[in-house]
Amino acid sequence: PVGVVGATAAFTEKLPGGDEFAAAVAAVERWTGERADALMSIEIGGLNGLLPLVVADQLGLGYVDADLSGRGLPRLDQFSVAATGRGIAPAALAEPGGQVVVLAAGSDAVIERGTRAFLAGSGGWAAFALAPIPAG
């Protein structure tokens, strides 16, 4: 699952470079040792409804028409994977300046706080990727 986290209004001040999603997906793949076969959206709302389809095409991956929330949500710890107990760690974030961070472990609330701290220091938005989720 991939998407934009933070304030998309910040795009006008810190433009995407184009490699942020590839960097986030690659980071989570390196961390987990699992390769993504397809991408899906973290949420269906706003920019995240379409952007993962574009990223899947850019990376030569399939796209699954699904998301982790059924709507736009303000916090990562509200995703369905959090509600079912799977959790959202590990997660990777990448920003236009080239910084990439993997939030490797912790409760969903800890991952949410770590993400917000990263956003505060990186211009207000970042590409976000979760570890691959097995189908079925």
Assigned domain for 36 exists: yes
CATH of the domain at 37: 3.40.1610.10
Supply the pLDDT for residue 126.
Answer: 94
Using a pLDDT cut of 90, give the percent of the chain over it: 49
More confident residue, 97 or 71: 97
> What is the number of domains present in the chain?
1
Neighbours of 78 (CB within 10 A): 16
131 token code pair: 């570890």
Element at 58 (helix H, strand E): helix 51-59
Assigned domain for 24 exists: yes
Domain of 23, in residue numbers: 2-130
Distance CA 70, CA 97 (A): 31
pLDDT digits (tens, 9 = 90+) for 34-81: 999 999 888 887 888 888 999 999 999 999 988 887 766 666 777 767
Mean pLDDT of 92-110: 93
Assigned domain for 107 exists: yes
Question: Closest Cα to residue 97, out of 73, 127, 66, 59?
Answer: 127
Assigned domain for 10 exists: yes
In angstroms, the Cα distances linking 4 to 17, 24, 100 are: 13, 11, 14
38 token code pair: 């397809």
Q: Which residues contact 130 (CB under 8 A, 6 or more apart)?
A: 1, 2, 28, 42, 68, 81, 88, 90, 91
